A and B are shown apart, each in its own frame.
Chain A
Amino acid sequence: MRRKIFPVIVFSLFLALSSISLAERKEVKAMFGAHAWKDVIIANLPQFEKETGIKVEYEVLSEDVLFERAILELTSGTGSYDVIADVIEWVAPYAATGGVEPLDKYDAKYQLNLKDKIAAVRKAHMFKNKQYSLPINCGSRMFYYRKDLLAREGLSVPKTWEELKTAAKKLTKGNTYGMSMSARKGAIGVLNWMPWFWAAGGREWDGHRVKFNSEAGIAATQLWIDLINSKSTPPGITNFAIDDNKSGIMRGTIGMASFETAAALDLANQSKNPYAASMGFDLVPARFKKTKRTATAVLGGWGFTLTKQSRNKDAALKFLAWATSKSMDQKFALTFGQGAYPESYTSEAVVQKFPALPFVLNTLNGAKTLFPIPENQELADILTTELTAAFSGQKTAKQAMDDATSRMNDVLAKAGY
């Protein structure tokens, strides 16, 4: 009998010891997105690993691939990853899978500094009032203009759409186009059009249904159709992304534009932009003088989520606390001019390097998230499809907004809203 019991005891001890060693294994597996923040984190990882003894293994994936892999990982719940990066639009889909852990309860213990982050940004990383993601960086959209070109035509900075149309027409000369926007089909097109919708006093979503065929929606679409038809915009704007606008301004072929705040850093940099000294930044012009120009930008930015199936939550949370700490945030801001804490945008060293940052912070404070629901990808796809159909002359502004509203409401009704 003893002979039989002995191997069983040894085997049990072995199992117990190995499970202890697994539990104490200080290793975090993460999915990073291909953005500048990952370079800063990777460069500083050796220091983190030395201080904590936690080894961080990571994979860097492009935005599209990351979203697909993350959703599949979170729904299958294999626990292969402890930390997965997200962008604001993915917070709701990630949370809907049930595979990510709300982080509120860990705030105090791990010093996640939730309350110290830019309020609008922190809120954008929430779903159903729970903090599912920790912001890493953020950006929004704003209005760029060349002060010298406006001055040459005797124009002041446009504050209304009528002033904008007049200025766009006057600035369009030779190889220079008056006004531009990132209007490419995709999330980018929606994010850049929404400020104009809000600047017309539009309200897109009441929690149940959308209403883009409102006066504001049709007017915002018509504004861009008018700008395109009057040839005040570059001919290819329905395929324009951030770099097309940025390089256009740097080449002197675009006088005014509305697109991502991330470009402000290069545009205000004299070594990169020959017109840097003449660059001006503002919120997008309002439809009428009386329209309040506050929340006129859509938030964008990256964050980190903790998977529910993580086998190393303690190590993962320590990594998250470090990667989203104030000191790392300063490094992000100094490297690529973005962060998640307000002080990173106003610190002397950062502002000296990126003078446009205090204004960017101004746009972030009033910025909002678009459709904070899991179906947001489908809604955004419908909206961008209809917008580009209108911009390319396939539909009128009213037809496009009617179709967008009807198709989006079908999706919402089907999803039970």
Chain B
Amino acid sequence: LQIQTHSLKKNIFPIVMVLPALLIIFGVIVYPMLYAFVMSFCSFELLKMYQGIHFIGLQNYIAALKDPNFINSIRLTFKFLLIVIPVELVVGIAVAMVINSDHIKGKKIIRGLIIVPIMITPIVVGLMWLYMFDYDIGIVNYLLTSIGIPKINWLGDVDFVIKAVSIAEIWQNTPFVILLVLAGLEGLPREPYESALVDGANAWTSFLKITLPLLKPVILVALLLRTIDAYRVFGLVLALTNGGPGTATEVASMYVYKNGFKFWHIGYSSALSFLMLFIVLIVGLLYLRFLKVGWEET
């Protein structure tokens, strides 16, 4: 009996210690998520509380899938991802390779400077680029005209506005890829490179045949994290264009935000959120599948 009591005490102590954290997680993450999930099946208009909250089954989901503005916002979000993610990865890997080379001095300082953009909140990044993209007084057009390229209406021209948002996003988040790849590069073994050198391989061949395959898991992690993060882009777009002109930059998270916190369609915006979550879950699962293959191959 004594042994049993002792064992119980031993088991209860860690549970008691972890319980407050679990309760907080349940209170601020699990419960709101469950509540939002339930609400996504309800007609819930915050400005018409007198109508009450009614269960309406899948109506919000069906309406969302028929909503051309939501479909357009998802399409636009993927267009945005297709621009920013490849650029962030290619530039991130290239810059990390340069920083990692033996010829570069002051690596710690460079690393410190590189993280500055990540530390700035997206809304401030948006405001910064708003001024930089200004047609008349922005530095971007100033630089373009100084090399003979005519000014571009970055935020007013529908052909350029998504590119402008992408540039700001790439500026802010490529450093994350650089840091991740740098960490991966520092952990690579030296032996394969020495063998390749003996076999007469040049730097480019070493990069293609050794570095890239060994970095595959790191690159896939960067790809997964950046995709999920860029999929939620919001503050940057809000400050730069407010989703305009028209719906040219109205990404999915902005559409969900507007429905939830501007128009107060709580039920409908909950359904939109879960559809967004479902989509990113599928993308994430696909990535994880590749990631698993990448790890197994490595």
A contacts, CB < 8 Å to B: 68, 71, 75, 93, 96-98, 175, 184-186, 234-239, 248, 253, 374-375, 377-378, 381, 384-386, 388-389, 391-395
Q: Are B155 and A97 neighbours in the complex by a CB distance under 8 Å?
A: no
Output the nearest chain A residue to B49 by Cβ-Cβ distance: A75
Give the number of residue pairs across the A-B interface with Cβ within 8 Å. Answer: 90
Interface assignment of B46: CB less than 8 Å from any CB of chain A: yes
Contact A392 B151 (CB under 8 A): no
Q: Are A381 and B258 in contact (CB under 8 A)?
A: yes
B151 engages A235 (CB within 8 Å): yes
**What's the nearest-Cβ distance from chain A to residue B78, in Å?**
19
Q: Which of A68, A175, A378, A385 contacts B244 (CB 8 A)?
A: A385
Q: Quick check: A388 and B263 within 8 Å, CB to CB?
A: no
Q: Are A392 and B248 in contact (CB under 8 A)?
A: yes
Interface of B is mostly: loop
Please name all residues of chain A whose beta carbon is closer than 8 Å to the beta carbon of B262 when the two chains form the complex: 377-378, 381
Whether B243 pairs with A185 at a CB distance below 8 angstroms is yes
* A394-B245 Cα distance, complex, nearest whole Å: 9
* Contact indicator B241/A239 (Cβ below 8 Å): yes
Q: Is the beta-carbon distance between A388 and B48 smaller than 8 angstroms? A: no
Q: Say yes or no for B100: interface residue by CB 8 A criterion.
A: no
- What chain A residues lie within 8 Å of B151 (beta carbons)? 235
A–B pairs, 15, beta carbons within 8 Å: A97-B47, A185-B245, A235-B151, A236-B135, A237-B156, A239-B155, A239-B241, A239-B245, A378-B263, A381-B262, A384-B244, A389-B247, A392-B156, A392-B246, A394-B158
Q: Which residues of B contact A381 (CB under 8 A)?
A: 258, 262-263
Given A235-B135, A237-B156, A386-B246, A71-B241 contact (CB < 8 Å): no
For A235, the chain B residues whose CB sits under 8 A away are 135, 151, 153, 156-157
Report the interface size class on chain B.
20 to 34
- Asked whether A236 lies within 8 Å of B134 as measured between CB atoms, the reply is yes
Q: Which residues of A contact B50 (CB under 8 A)?
A: 98
Bound form: Cα–Cα A68–B257 in Å: 11
Whether A185 pairs with B244 at a CB distance below 8 angstroms is yes
Q: Are A185 and B241 in contact (CB under 8 A)?
A: yes
Residues of B within 8 A of A175 (CB): 136
Whether A185 contacts B156 by the Cβ 8 Å rule is: no
A184 touches B49 (CB 8 A): no
Per the 8 Å Cβ criterion, residues 249-288 of B in contact with A are 250, 258, 261-264
* Shortest distance from the beta carbon of A184 to any chain B beta carbon, whole Å: 7
A144 to B82, CA, bound (A): 44
B263→A238 contact, CB < 8 A: no
**CB atoms of A98 and B49 under 8 A apart:** yes
- Are the C-beta atoms of A96 and B155 separated by less than 8 Å? no
B98-118 CB contacts (< 8 Å) to partner A: none
Known contacts A71-B264, A393-B158; decide if A96 and B48 are in contact (CB<8 Å).
yes
- How near does chain B come to A325, taking the closest CB pair, in angstroms? 32
Contact, CB under 8 Å: B244 / A184: yes
- A257 to chain B: closest CB distance in Å? 14
Closest B residue to A94 using CB positions: B47
Q: Distance in Å from the Cβ of B38 to the closest Cβ of chain A?
A: 18
CB neighbors of A among B43-68 (8 A): 46-50
Which residues on A sit within 8 Å (CB–CB) of B158?
Answer: 392-394
A394 touches B248 (CB 8 A): yes
Please give the distance in Å from B266's CB to the nearest CB on chain A: 10
- In the bound complex, how far is the Cα of B264 from the Cα of A224, in angstroms? 32
* Chain B residues, CB < 8 A from A237: 156
Shortest distance between the CB of B175 and any CB in chain A (Å): 27
List CB contacts (< 8 Å) of B115-130 with chain A. 130
Q: Which among B130, B134, B158, B245 has the greatest number of chain A C-beta atoms within 10 A?
A: B245
